[in-house]
Amino acid sequence: MGYYNSNEPKGNKKGYFASSFTGLIAGALMVGVILPSVTDMELGSAESTSSPTESVSGLQTASTVVTTDVTEIVEQTTDAVVGVSNLQTAQQNPFASQTNEDAESQEAGVGSGVIYKKDGDTAYIVTNNHVVEGAEEVMVTLSDGTELDAKVLGTDIWTDLAVLEVPGDSITTVAEFGDSSVLQAGEPVIAIGNPLGLQFSGSVTTGVISGTERLVPIDVNQDGIEDWQSEVLQTDAAISPGNSGGALINAEGQVIGINSMKIAQDAVEGIGLAIPVNTAIPIISDLETGGAVDRPSMGVAILDLAEVPAQYRSSQLNLPAEVEGGIVVESVVEGSGAATAGMEAYDVIVEMNGEAVNSVLELRQYLYNETEVGDTLKVKAYRNGELMDFELPLTESIE
């Protein structure tokens, strides 16, 4: 699954969720009939004030101001959502006479961000990693058009989050984080961002939480292999290119998700995805204070056993025939926990703390979600056909 944003690299896309399309379309037809009344009920009834006016042609018209819960929430929170421009030096004509000093930074992509904190003269913004990836400069545009140079404090490729720092003099509105753990399917939400760039800055779409705790496979390095499974919120609020990094807001005006991606396929409508704010908060804290996420490391380079041809599994790894899944250790970092425990290249890991692991994806998910730096990890691995036990002290990852 790739990200759906204005600076998304082109490439092949895999068709996830294809098996559920029939039910999804049928459900969408039903929702199209009943959703308006449900949304009105959940978000509150509209209030309006009007006064008669007379047009130039003499026809009677009415000037009406309509106020709803949505308009009030948007008015309170929209200034906390900003535009984020990824600036990179344009590729120069090799035959041109201009020097490097003459090269100008150009907008390579644009997304959104959420102002979540102001401390003295400094304000902090959370956005997506893929919005600022590869940027030589980052420009933040406030809702009133003010442009600010931003400093990237830290990025995290695994959760697709990044934290920026900007001068806080001109910032007056800071978003409030809610609690994404209590969200329910059907709960109304509002998405605010910059679809298609700053031309449509501060765009508002509404919808509902379509599902919680969705697991979406992510190919981090675009090599066609799933590297991670991201836990996300699913919403039918419209998410378009440029919305990445924007706010998903509940009916209380609290940010409960950071918009991240959309399933972009011809047969799919209304499947937008956001990072739950409860998942994001500890990552944001690490990025703000240390520039990186403090994750445990085993100190090994690894690959899936499935990538090793069958003849080498028996001739070089000496694996029993019944072993079909596992992770092959390619190399061990000197001085690491794996080295301390006595692990070697060509060991095949099959179990961690009593849990079977069959792939690099499973190993990474367990290591990052279930363990911490300083823990001792109990590992079972095959070496020359013999199942061995190891105890690895986990150190801080250098990633």
- Is 244 part of the annotated catalytic residue set? yes
Residue 118: both structure tokens together: 């102001």
- Is 119 part of the annotated catalytic residue set? no
> What three-state secondary structure class fits 160?
coil
Q: Is residue 358 predicted with pLDDT exceeding 90?
A: yes
Beta pairing partners, 208: 188
- pTM, two decimals, is 0.77
- Is 130 part of the annotated catalytic residue set? yes
**62 conformational bin, left if phi > 0, alpha if psi -120 to 50, beta if neither:** beta
Q: Is residue 388 predicted with pLDDT exceeding 80?
A: yes
Q: Which residues of 87-96 are buried (b: 16+ CB within 10 A; e: fewer)?
A: beeeeeeeee
**Mean predicted lDDT score pLDDT of the chain:** 82
- Report the percent of the chain where pLDDT is more than 90: 59
| pLDDT tens-digit series, residues 278-308 | 999 999 999 999 999 989 999 999 999 999 9
Query: CB neighbours (10 Å) of residue 334?
Result: 8
Query: Which residue among the candidates 69, 160, 236, 286 is catalytic per the annotation?
Result: 160
Superfamily of domain 296-396 in the CATH hierarchy: PDZ domain (2.30.42.10)
**44 conformational bin, left if phi > 0, alpha if psi -120 to 50, beta if neither:** left
> What three-state secondary structure class fits 14?
coil
Structural domain boundaries in the chain: 1-47+66-90+105-292, 296-396
> What is the rounded CA–CA span in Å between residue 229 and residue 93?
41
Query: Which residue among the candidates 6, 180, 203, 244 is catalytic per the annotation?
Result: 244
Domain 1-47+66-90+105-292 carries which CATH code?
Answer: 2.40.10.120
The answer to whether 1-47+66-90+105-292 and 296-396 have equal CATH topology is no
Q: Which band of pLDDT confidence, cut at 50, 70 and 90, is reported for residue 190?
A: very high
Q: Which residues contact 51 (CB under 8 A, 6 or more apart)?
A: 62, 63
| pLDDT tens-digit series, residues 35-83 | 333 344 355 555 655 555 555 566 666 666 666 788 899 999 999 999 9
Choose between 83 and 238: higher pLDDT: 83
> What is the rounded CA–CA span in Å between residue 389 and residue 379?
6
- Residue with token string 């940010």: 255
Residues in the chain: 399
| pLDDT tens-digit series, residues 128-180 | 999 999 999 999 999 999 999 999 999 999 999 999 999 999 999 999 999 99
Query: Which residue among the candidates 85, 130, 156, 203 is catalytic per the annotation?
Result: 130
Q: Contact 12/1 with Cβ under 8 angstroms?
A: no
**48 conformational bin, left if phi > 0, alpha if psi -120 to 50, beta if neither:** beta
